[in-house]
Structure 1
Amino acid sequence: MTAATDVVSPIAARTADWRGPVWIAWRQHRAVVGGTLLWALVLGAAAVWTTVRLDAVATCEPACSSADRDAVTSLVHAGEVIIPLVAALPAVLALFWAAPMLAREYEQRTHLLAWTQDLTPRRWLAAKALFLAAAAVPVVLVAGVPTARLADRMGSVNPSGNNGFEAGSFDAAPAMLLAHAATALAIGLAASALLRRTVAAMAATVVLCGLLWGAAVLARPHLLDPQSVQVPFTGYGESEPEQLTGAWVLDWLPVDATGTVLPAYQGEPAMIRYLYLGAERLTELRLWEAGLSLAVAALALPAVIYGMARVRSAP
């Protein structure tokens, strides 16, 4: 054999560097990835079935029987269970995929072998993290796409009771699921790298994801400047103006004829001023929150690198 045939091209060497850890990641995580995908398929199938049944039953309007109306109510209630479960998928990925990834390596001491080979620790981490990120895409989409269709159908059946601004429907949209999945995986990896214990990392991941979701819900009404509309007062609890169909009503204010805000329920005001986000601004709001979510993910990555460097420098 000549010397020329013994030379390995840099491209082939880099490909081999990535192929090994990706294969190891698949072998280590295939059970939990497969289980999560199966759960997402079940949720997606349930969303499809519920949507199909709503399409079949709700078309009876305006001549629906009481049995048809009861069926619609039951299907809407089923959708109200499916949507939050789908919205929680990013937290499931963080809890069972990301949080144990590094912590288990530390506990089993396998990082001493994996990180002393030709592959650098950062490339090892990048290969495994990219594998999990790539696997997360079909998991969230297989459940998120049909669930988004279900949420839209529920909104058409009852626009005032179900719209895309509700917490579950908002978070279960495919774009939001992808952004939240990236953030949740980054948070899980950071907890895993810093705590180095699987149970502790999983507990911290649950707490951090819960706090982040709560902060997002609290901040959501303030991300965009609200629209406003004033209508003559006809009585509290009366029908709302057509601009509010499918909209998110942030607040309403009783005002007098000059536009001055009055204390609530102090006599009868001349007008009611509604502050709201119209249905046409739903996509804009989701883009803003998705961007902020990805920014949090980017901020979590240095914590992962710091945690790995701290372990390597330890005696």
Structure 2
Amino acid sequence: MSPVIEAPARASRQDDLGSAGSVRGLLWLTWRQHRWAVLSTLVLAAVLVGWMTYLSMELTDLWHQCGNAYCPENSPQGERLAGSSPLVLTMGALARVVQYMPLLIGVFIGVPVLTREHEQRTLLLAWSQDVSPTRWLWTKLGMLGLFVTAVTAAVAGVSDHLQHVDTLVGPANLFDYVPFLNTGMLPVAISICWFAVGVALGAAIKRTLPAVFGVIVSFIGLTYLVQWRYPTLMKPLSVQLQMDGPDRGPLRDNALVVKGGMIDYGIDGPSGAFDASGRELSGVELQRLCPPDNDGDKMLSCLSNLHLHQHVQYQPGSRIPDFHLIVATGYLGLTAVALVAVWWIVRRTNLSAG
């Protein structure tokens, strides 16, 4: 009676070991196939995190030197934050690297997942074992996706902190396009998206170089589309501002100007300046009424005496989390579409052509 009772338990333990063994095998296979991309990504992320952490500490020190306030432009600290200073150039370069990191992930981690198997003719070997093609796909995508999420979350957290510290000491705006993309959890959502898109294009095209080209073109196109459309994802607010007013009111605190805010002198068309009756002056009229001077004091005094104002449409900085959520939802929606496409392509793949 004892063997009859123990046989099912022994069989169950063997099944569990076999299942665990297949997961361990796929984990080892994933590491062997993608180890150089994984290691390179870790190195890049470590450099970004370390460098941005150092810059955050340096900006915090400048903030303390300025009395925990905005650093005046004519101060030694303000000169270090000038537009062409080494500190600002370094921050700009790092911000661009963070912005384009999702593209690198899509090209070097996403694309090879299936193009490698097609080009090396190993699909038949990989998918004819005791692991089904669907399980092989989701296990590899899960492992690599978790890696991408963890790495980009670390970079996103440090990048977000650096951008917020930058607004304390200098004329930075979190609603500007690059800081907007590099704050919150947008780097994570965008990286996951381009990882999935890279896998999908690799599965559809089946060749590495054409798939890489497709990822690059798609990334650039969608980046410019988001840059063009994101200011109007919510209806902008409107405000009238005196042109010489020292207090910018609602345009402070990371507000994004959607329309207005620019004055054109000396042109036949509209200048963007309105008189007290609400009539918009032409650039020629404005130049005739308030001729520009070298130091700007006389012109500002003229604008004040004429009570000219501007109509400005803007997005308040308080909407940044809402905009982050809208853009992240769009990228994650594209991720879902890409994953469904990969699943459909894998199910229809002819193993005999592997």
Same fold (TM over 0.5): yes
**In the alignment, is residue 24 of structure 1 matched against residue 29 of structure 2?**
yes
- Write the deviation string for residues 100-126 of structure 1: whole angstroms up to 9, x where unpaired: 110011111111111111211111110
| Correspondence for 1:72 | 81
| Correspondence for 2:266 | none
Q: Helix, strand or coil for the counterpart of 1:59?
A: helix
Is the alpha carbon distance of 1:270 and 1:95 closer, same or farther for their aligned partners in structure 2, counting shifts above 3 Å? same
In the alignment, which of 230, 254, 258 is matched to residue 250 of structure 1? 258
Taking the aligned partners of 1:240 and 1:113, their CA distance within structure 2 comes to 69
Q: CA deviation at 1:135?
A: 0.5
Q: Which moved more, 1:247-256 or 1:12-21?
A: 12-21
Q: Helix, strand or coil for the counterpart of 1:119?
A: coil
When the two chains are superposed, the root-mean-square deviation of aligned CA atoms in Å is: 2.5
Runs of 4 or more, structure 1, over 6 Å off, are 62-65
**In the alignment, is residue 291 of structure 1 matched against residue 299 of structure 2?**
no
Q: Larger C-alpha radius of gyration, 1 or 2?
A: 2
2:113 counterpart letter in structure 1: M
Q: CA deviation at 1:20?
A: 2.6
- Write the deviation string for residues 65-100 of structure 1: whole angstroms up to 9, x where unpaired: 854433333323321111111121111110100011
**In the alignment, is residue 282 of structure 1 matched against residue 317 of structure 2?**
no
Matches within 5 A, 1:110-125: 110-125=122-137
User: Is residue 93–residue 181 contact of structure 1 (8 Å, CA) maintained in 2?
Assistant: yes
Q: Helix, strand or coil for the counterpart of 2:12?
A: coil
In the alignment, which of 196, 212, 226 is matched to residue 202 of structure 1? 212
**In the alignment, is residue 84 of structure 1 matched against residue 96 of structure 2?**
yes
| Correspondence for 2:202 | 192
**In the alignment, is residue 7 of structure 1 matched against residue 11 of structure 2?**
yes
| Structure 1 spans left out of the alignment, 5+ residues | none
In the alignment, which of 172, 175, 185 is matched to residue 175 of structure 1? 185
**In the alignment, is residue 230 of structure 1 matched against residue 240 of structure 2?**
yes
Q: Which moved more, 1:123-132 or 1:297-306?
A: 297-306
Is the alpha carbon distance of 1:116 and 1:264 closer, same or farther for their aligned partners in structure 2, counting shifts above 3 Å? farther
Q: Helix, strand or coil for the counterpart of 2:129?
A: coil
User: Is residue 190–residue 301 contact of structure 1 (8 Å, CA) maintained in 2?
Assistant: yes
In the alignment, which of 96, 108, 114 is matched to residue 102 of structure 1? 114
Is the alpha carbon distance of 1:216 and 1:272 closer, same or farther for their aligned partners in structure 2, counting shifts above 3 Å? same
Q: Which moved more, 1:289-298 or 1:1-10?
A: 1-10
1:70 counterpart letter in structure 2: E
1:156 counterpart letter in structure 2: L
Q: Helix, strand or coil for the counterpart of 1:173?
A: coil
Q: Helix, strand or coil for the counterpart of 1:272?
A: strand
Taking the aligned partners of 1:189 and 1:77, their CA distance within structure 2 comes to 34
Taking the aligned partners of 2:243 and 2:77, their CA distance within structure 1 comes to 35
| Correspondence for 1:46 | 51
TM-score with structure 1 setting the length: 0.88
Taking the aligned partners of 2:283 and 2:197, their CA distance within structure 1 comes to 46
Q: Which moved more, 1:264-273 or 1:194-203?
A: 264-273
Between the two proteins, the alignment pairs up a number of residues equal to: 309
Q: CA deviation at 1:3?
A: 3.0
Taking the aligned partners of 2:328 and 2:229, their CA distance within structure 1 comes to 13
User: Is residue 57–residue 72 contact of structure 1 (8 Å, CA) maintained in 2?
Assistant: no
Q: CA deviation at 1:314?
A: 6.4
Q: CA deviation at 1:229?
A: 1.3
User: Is residue 141–residue 174 contact of structure 1 (8 Å, CA) maintained in 2?
Assistant: no
| Correspondence for 1:133 | 145
Q: Helix, strand or coil for the counterpart of 1:275?
A: strand
TM-score with structure 2 setting the length: 0.79
| Structure 2 spans left out of the alignment, 5+ residues | 261-271, 287-306
- Write the deviation string for residues 128-171 of structure 1: whole angstroms up to 9, x where unpaired: 11111110122112222111111111112223xx2111222111
Is the alpha carbon distance of 1:3 and 1:227 closer, same or farther for their aligned partners in structure 2, counting shifts above 3 Å? same
| Identity rate, percent | 27
**In the alignment, is residue 265 of structure 1 matched against residue 287 of structure 2?**
no
Is the alpha carbon distance of 1:233 and 1:53 closer, same or farther for their aligned partners in structure 2, counting shifts above 3 Å? closer
1:3 counterpart letter in structure 2: A
| Correspondence for 1:241 | 248
User: Is residue 102–residue 196 contact of structure 1 (8 Å, CA) maintained in 2?
Assistant: yes
